[in-house]
Amino acid sequence: MGRTLYLDCNSGISGDMTVGALLDMGADSHVLLDVLKSIKAEGFDIVITKKNKGDIDCTDFDVVLDKEHDGHDHDMDYLYGHLHHHEHENHEHDHQHHQHEHEHHSHHHHRGIKEIYEIIDNTIMTDRARKIAKDIFEVLAKAESKAHEVPVEEVHFHEVGAIDSIVDIISIAVCLDNLDVTDVIVPRLYDGKGTVRCQHGILPVPVPAVKNIVSDSNIDLEIIDVQGELVTPTGAATVAAIRTKTVLPEKYETIQTGYGNGKRDYGLDGVLKAAIIC
CA 118, CA 175: separation in Å to the nearest integer? Answer: 20
Give the pLDDT score at 160.
56
Contacts 24+ apart (CB under 8 A), 204-212: 205/229, 206/231, 207/233, 208/143, 208/147, 209/140, 209/143, 209/144, 209/147, 209/160, 209/233, 209/236, 210/143, 210/236, 212/142, 212/143, 212/146, 212/147
Give the pLDDT score at 101.
38
**199, 208 in Cβ contact below 8 A?**
no
DSSP state of 90: P
Give the pLDDT score at 171.
98
Contacts 24+ apart (CB under 8 A), 191-194: 191/12, 191/221, 191/222, 191/223, 191/224, 191/229, 191/230, 191/231, 192/12, 192/223, 192/224, 192/226, 192/227, 192/228, 192/229, 192/230, 192/266, 193/223, 193/225, 193/226, 193/227, 194/80, 194/227, 194/228
Give the pLDDT score at 89.
35
SS3 content of the chain, % helix, strand, coil (to 5): 35, 30, 40
**232, 243 in Cβ contact below 8 A?**
no
Phi then psi for 147, rounded to 5 degrees? Answer: -65, -35
pLDDT tens, the chain, 278 aa long: 899 999 999 999 999 999 999 999 999 999 999 999 999 988 899 999 999 988 899 999 999 988 665 554 443 333 333 333 333 333 333 344 444 433 333 344 568 889 999 999 999 999 999 999 999 999 998 988 888 788 888 877 766 568 888 999 999 999 999 999 999 999 999 999 999 987 768 999 999 999 999 999 999 999 999 999 999 999 999 999 999 999 999 999 999 999 999 998 887 889 999 999 99
Give the pLDDT score at 87.
33
Q: What's the pTM value of the predicted model, to 2 decimals?
A: 0.86
Question: What are the residue boundaries of the structural domains of the chain, listed by start?
Answer: 3-277
